[in-house]
Chains A and B, each alone.
Chain A
Amino acid sequence: MTVHITTPTPDKAPPASSVGAVGWLRKNLFSSIPNSIFTILGLLLIYNLVPPAINWAFFTADWVGSTKGDCTSEGACWVFVIVRIRQFLFGFYPPSEYWRVITAFSLVGVLVAWLLIERTPKKGVVAAFTVFCYPIIAYFLFYGGSFGLPVVETHKWGGLMLTLILATIGMFCALPIGIILALGRRSSMPIAKSMSVVFIEFWRGVPLITVLFMSSVMLPIFMPETWQFDKLLRALIGIVFFQSAYMAEVVRGGLQAIPRGQYEAAEALGLSYWKTMFFIILPQALKLVIPGIVNTFIALFKDTTLVLIIGLFDLLAVVQAAFADPKWLGFSVEGYVFVASVYWVSCFSMSRYSQHLEKKLHTGHAR
């Protein structure tokens, strides 16, 4: 028996024009004449926008100084932002009390990180602490009036701090109301159902500005004269109603995605409606809609800028007010770029996180 050992002739190398950098360029940028034209136009656009912008923002920018006179070069005058950074972050909060704000935000940062990072122990205890104890601690830290902390009236709150407070409280209170509304909308009780639908569609159908107008102008008329609401609380009430309607729709999406079999199985086990919801349906549904909740939080975070229209000083309003300072006229672009970058970094990272969650949570339950 003879064994033929044949060595196959080695494959020819692909043509030089289809591999490596040249091949990539040909395939992705110059595959046809229109594509080449687009590429050249795109390059022109980048050439005309990016280097001047980078030059303006970094290489020819002024970073140190304390007055307008220190901005001597052509580029951005970041001195304006740096000099006023405390006001942009804390509004008119007394500087001696800044530690309270920093403590409250660091604490919530640690708690949220604890809940979000995988494989941390005792998540249940931490979650309960965040939901039930933290709001009380935060209230005393921000507002004071107890434990020897001086009272800081809410009209002194401002800047990024106020933005974060509005967004987190709005979200925190809107979630439970949203869940109730979503359950109501899917309920078999006709009156409960139609009331939920009317509530949800009403708040979703009107712009946030009119809601804020309504809460700031009409709330004092609707309530007895002895009930005093300060401006921040009125804005918050409006935001919570508005946000809960959107939250309800997100949660409803999750409820609809749970297969019927889950409801039927729970019923077959003899669980009551509330037990079915709390132990079987909601844990699955809420897990499914976490990305949606993060997305509505992003929307709310951006929408908090609207409170400047009813006279609250959030981050954008504080910066906008700083432009009117006669010592610092003409730095609006720097201010807007600063605010935009704060929002951009926060929103972009949150949306990336929500996309990551969406991939991670995609366990095949959704239909």
Chain B
Amino acid sequence: MTASTSSQLLTNLLMSNSSKKQFWWNNAQYRSLFFQVVLVAMVAGFFWFIGSNTLQNLEKRGISTGFAFLSQKSGFGILQSLIPFSDADSFGRTFLVGLLNTLLVSALGVVFATIIGFTMGVARLSNNWLIAKIATVYVETFRNIPLLLQIFFWYFAVLRALPSPRQSWSAGEVAFVNIRGLYLPQPIFGDGFGFVGWTFVLAIVATVCVARWAKKRQNETGKQFKFWRTAFGLVICLPLLVFFAAGSPLSWDIPALKGFNFHGGMTIIPELTALLLALSIYTATFIAEAVRSGILAVNSGQTEAASALGLHNSKVLKLVVIPQAMRVIIPQLTSQYLNLVKNSSLATAIGYPDLVAVFAGTTLNQTGQAIEIIAMTMGVYLTISLTISAIMNWYNNKIMLVER
């Protein structure tokens, strides 16, 4: 800090002129050095204390340290796995399965929470009195009830009350809901489907290029380009064309009741549904508040000035209100996404096999390697948190540059 250094200089100057002897402990630099050395010594001592205790305790309990356990055979099954997993696989693989399940529920939760949150945030500002009130009641109700309670409510009170497999509710005899989960038809990709996928990827790349070109041309010449029409044609129509040209290489595996349960298709376990419902509904209330505060933060003079320039409503929103509101919304949105990822660890309470439930739960109980496992679990969440906040900070800085 410049102020403190300049005042130090002043003090030093005054001191040197006076006849008093200057003691080293009156010098701010030495003092801060001394203080920091003491601090480091204390922290190091604390860690040494913990470390030596840990070694002693582990020796007494006969627990070996290290990550060798990761390659041992796990010997338990997991309810839901995105990669092939059996009880013959290693503990290391349980880590992967748990991590993927955490990422799955977080990604789905982020999508749903964003959709509900933005809708509700805008609805709270609606000029329709009833809609605004309904949105307010929604936000105030769900954000003041603990998330764990909401998860329990959906899982134990709602999803447990669903009918048994034989009395399933069905939607057009292709999708079924019962107490064991949600059964959906599963797409089976035929031989030529790879072409469709690649066309889609290429179309997205092309769209990005077109967008850049259109923006550049508008900046240089002022000519606007019908971007959305082109984007729609490239991203949606082109892959569809390829799809039909390849002879519709897609079929559906429809679940069917055989004996006491459904077979075939895709199963969404009730644990996932309950967790997803609670996470999205809970986080959406906070996102709604962020959106509302963001939109309210845009000065009404901005909207009026834009209208005075002759922009019509949708342009006012797109060019004036949303870019400014986003600057307020993005930081809050980031922290809500992070909360959602961290809160997905509540899965363990209802038995959804996420990282904490599988790895810090079952695997820890089986191996007893508490330190390694908890450290790995915390490391994963820390990495996710720090990565998301780094990306969001970068984005935030990027859009902040526009501001004067």
Write the residues of chain A forming the contact surface with B, with a CB cutoff of 8 angstroms: 28-29, 31, 35, 38-39, 42-43, 45-46, 188-192, 195, 201-202, 204-210, 213-214, 217-218, 220-225, 260, 263-264, 267, 298, 302-303, 305-306, 308-309, 316, 320, 323, 332-333, 336, 339-340, 343-344, 347-348, 351
Q: List 18 A-B contacts (CB under 8 A).
A: A38-B131, A46-B134, A188-B32, A195-B43, A205-B385, A206-B385, A214-B378, A220-B57, A221-B58, A263-B3, A267-B3, A298-B144, A302-B145, A305-B148, A305-B149, A316-B148, A336-B149, A343-B145
CB-based contact A223/B130 at 8 Å = no
Taking a contact as CB atoms under 8 Å apart, the answer to whether B343 and A207 are in contact is yes
In whole angstroms, how far apart are the Cα atoms of A139 and B156 in the complex?
37
Whole-angstrom CA separation of A344 from B285 in the bound complex: 14
Give 13 A-B pairs besides A217-B364, A333-B153 with Cβ atoms closer than 8 angstroms: A189-B32, A189-B35, A191-B40, A205-B382, A207-B342, A210-B377, A221-B54, A224-B56, A260-B3, A305-B148, A343-B149, A347-B145, A351-B144
CA A192 to CA B146, docked complex, whole Å: 36
Q: Known interface pairs A263-B3, A323-B156. Does A305 touch B382 (Cβ–Cβ under 8 Å)?
A: no
Q: Which residues of A contact B345 (CB under 8 A)?
A: 207, 209-210
Determine which of B3, B43, B126, B148 lies in contact with A306 in the assembled complex, contact meaning CB atoms within 8 Å. B148
CB-CB under 8 A for A344 and B128, given A189-B35, A221-B54, A221-B370: no
**When chains A and B are docked, how far (Å) is the Cα of A249 from the Cα of B130?**
38
Taking chain B's interface residues, is the majority helix, strand, or loop, or is none over half, making it mixed? helix
Q: A195-B43, A207-B356 are in contact. Are A347 and B144 (CB under 8 A)?
A: yes
Chain B contact residue count (CB 8 A cutoff): 56
Evaluate contact between B356 and A316: CB separation under 8 angstroms: no
Query: B152 to chain A: which residues have CB within 8 Å?
Result: 316, 320, 336
Which A residue's beta carbon lies closest to that of B356? Answer: A209
When chains A and B are docked, how far (Å) is the Cα of A50 from the Cα of B58?
58
Asked whether any CB of chain A lies closer than 8 Å to the CB of B129, the reply is yes
Closest residue to B153 on the A side, CB-wise?
Answer: A336
Q: Which residues of A contact B147 (CB under 8 A)?
A: 302, 305
Complex Cα distance, B56 from A190, in Å, reads 34
Within 8 A of A (CB), among B148-200: 148-149, 152-153, 156-157, 160
| Contact of B209 with A by CB under 8 A | no
Q: Is the CB of A340 within 8 A of B149?
A: yes
Say how far B377's CB is from chain A's closest CB, in angstroms.
Answer: 5
Using Cβ atoms and an 8 Å threshold, which residues of chain B touch A190? 36
> In the docked arrangement, what's the CA distance between A42 and B129, Å?
10
A192 touches B36 (CB 8 A): yes
Q: In the bound complex, what is the Cα–Cα distance between A289 and B157 (angstroms)? A: 39
Is B140 close to A, CB under 8 A?
yes
Whether B130 lies near A43 (C-beta < 8 A) is: yes
Whether, in the assembled complex, B314 has its beta carbon less than 8 Å from a beta carbon of chain A, the answer is no
B360 A210 Cβ-Cβ under 8 A: yes
CB distance from A47 to the nearest CB of B (A): 12
CB distance from B102 to the nearest CB of A (A): 10
Take A189-B32, A206-B378, A221-B370 as given contacts and tell me if A344 and B145 are in contact as well, using a CB distance cutoff of 8 Å.
yes
Contacts of A336 in B (CB 8 A): 149, 152-153, 156-157
- Asked if B386 lies at the interface with its beta carbon under 8 angstroms from chain A, I say yes
- Residue contact A225 to B60, C-beta cutoff 8 Å: yes
Taken together as a complex, chains A and B put the C-alpha atoms of A343 and B147 apart, in Å, by 11
Are A189 and B36 closer than 8 Å at their CB atoms? yes
Are B134 and A42 in contact (CB-based, < 8 A)?
Answer: yes
B156: chain A residues within 8 A (beta carbon):
323, 332, 336
A206 and B157 in contact, given A29-B130, A221-B371, A316-B148 (Cβ under 8 angstroms): no
- Chain A: which residue is nearest B35 at the CB level? A189
- Name the contact of A223 in the complex, choosing from B53, B148, B160, B374 (C-beta under 8 A): B53
- Please name the 6 residue pairs, one residue from A and one from B, whose CB atoms are nearest each other, closest first: A205-B385, A28-B129, A207-B342, A347-B144, A302-B146, A207-B345
Within 8 A of A (CB), among B323-365: 342-343, 345-346, 348-349, 356, 360, 364
Q: Does B127 contact A (CB under 8 A)?
A: yes
Contact of B141 among A267, A333, A344 (CB under 8 A): A344
Contact at A348–B356, with CB atoms within 8 Å? Answer: no
